[in-house]
Amino acid sequence: MKTTELLLSILLLPLLFIMMQGCNPYSTQIKGDNNNMNGSFEAVKENLPVNWYFYPPGKVPNSDFEIISDDKEYKEGNKSLKFIVRKCKSLGGRYSPGFFQDFNAVNNETYKVSLWVINKGCEFKIALQSSEKGKGGPYETVLQTKDSITDWKYFEFFFKTAPAIDMIRFEAHILSPGIIWFDDIRIEGKTDKDERTLMH
Ligand SMILES: [Ca+2]
């Protein structure tokens, strides 16, 4: 193999790997050994919590940030998810740093969604949705704040899934620079006591 071909293979391999992780070209996901939600971010591969989609560094326009599996600051277990954001746009979605996942749920069911956060300087938002392409469904921004949170703070929200759609999506978007930690995300149904698993 020629040197140029070898170089090309080395350069293309990571790209191919990223493409195989998910069909969304703007986000990346490392699959874990099981299908669980990994809401406490304890299961980690390649320095990233598994089973979550991230809008990663290099794919978010006009941004400079790091995603870290933090084993020094955590609320539950011995790891949390930390973002160090030096520069970003406030647009949300794939235009800002963030993470999301779709979970199996029961339709027309009320879920309690909870998490813990420390925030030093960021504006961030949490959104929940139960929708599918062509079918609509509720989308709700349940939290948007730039409040300083110097110690772990608990948040909980209640959200009802769509009448005909068996899924719930959790999204977090970081809209301005700072340092932010997330831990122990839980999604518990009022009557649906199953653990959340990934839709895809
Ligand atoms: Ca944890």
Question: In this predicted model, what pLDDT tens digit does every residue of 100-152 receive, in sequence order?
Answer: 999 999 999 999 999 999 999 999 999 999 988 777 889 999 999 999 999 99
Q: Is residue 20 part of a domain?
A: no
Q: Is residue 22 part of a domain?
A: no
Q: Is residue 61 part of a domain?
A: yes
Q: Work out the number of other CB atoms within 10 angstroms of the CB of residue 77.
A: 13
Q: Is residue 17 part of a domain?
A: no
Q: Which of 193, 146, 200, 145 is nearest to 169 (CA)?
A: 200
Domain span holding position 113: 28-189
Report the separation in Å between the CA atom of 21 and the middle of ligand 1, taken as the mean of its atom positions.
23
Where do we find the tokens 């899934």?
Answer: 161
Residue 25 is predicted with a pLDDT of 85
Residue 134 is predicted with a pLDDT of 72
Q: Is residue 10 part of a domain?
A: no
Tell me: the pLDDT tens digits for 24-80? Answer: 689 999 999 999 999 999 999 999 999 999 999 999 999 999 999 999 999 999 999
Q: Is residue 153 part of a domain?
A: yes
Q: Residue 17 corresponds to which amino acid?
A: F
Report the separation in Å between the CA atom of 163 and the middle of ligand 1, taken as the mean of its atom positions.
32
Report the separation in Å between the CA atom of 38 and the middle of ligand 1, taken as the mean of its atom positions.
9
Q: What span, in angstroms and rounded, lies between the C-alpha atoms of 81 and 71?
A: 9
Domain count within the chain: 1
For ligand 1, an ion, list residues with CB under 5 A: 40, 74, 76-77, 79, 183
Report the separation in Å between the CA atom of 110 and the middle of ligand 1, taken as the mean of its atom positions.
25
Q: Which of 48, 46, 37 is nearest to 70 (CA)?
A: 48
CATH number for the domain harbouring residue 53? 2.60.120.260
Residue 174 is predicted with a pLDDT of 98
Report the separation in Å between the CA atom of 62 and the middle of ligand 1, taken as the mean of its atom positions.
30
Report the separation in Å between the CA atom of 22 and the middle of ligand 1, taken as the mean of its atom positions.
24
Q: Is residue 21 part of a domain?
A: no
Report the separation in Å between the CA atom of 167 and the middle of ligand 1, taken as the mean of its atom positions.
24
